[in-house]
Amino acid sequence: MEQINELAENLKLLGDKTRLTILALLKERPLCVCDIVDILETSQPNASQHLRKLKSAGLVSETRKGQWIYYSLNIEGKIYIQAVLDYIPSLKQKIDPMKNDCCE
């Protein structure tokens, strides 16, 4: 029953377009919150709130580089999440033009 509850909660998180988009972005490479804000054209508090929920569910992890925090996927062992991400179109074209220096 615990596994079903976890699955239901994680799928509920994926039901939000913004969180699903964040996971699709992180599928390409780790990003800092300012990158995510730029791509989603949203506010930093809004992006942070979604990231906090994803982190709380164990779907993303964070790594500190200097004063900046970079987020990456953490879906090992969650094959149902990987299966969903396999069907999401690549957002590589949104990430590639970025200079990756907004946090430098």
**What's the CA gap between 19 and 41, in Å, rounded?**
14
Mean pLDDT of the chain: 90
Is residue 72 situated within a structural domain? yes
Structure confidence by residue, pLDDT tens digits, 72-93: 999 998 898 999 999 999 888 8
Domain hosting 83: range is: 2-88
**Residue 99 domain-assigned?**
no
**Domain tally for the chain?**
1
Residue entry with tokens 């430098």:
104
Which pTM was predicted? Answer: 0.89
Domain containing residue 46: CATH number? 1.10.10.10
102 found inside a domain: no
Please report whether residue 33 resides in a domain: yes
> Does the residue 97 lie in any domain?
no
Q: Classify each residue of 89-103 as buried b or exposed e, where b means 16 or more C-beta atoms within 10 Å of its C-beta.
A: eebeebbeeeeeeee
**Residues 3, 81, 19, 39: what is their CA dihedral angle, to the nearest 10 degrees?**
160
**Which residues of the chain, if any, have pLDDT below 70?**
99-104
Q: Does a structural domain hold residue 104?
A: no
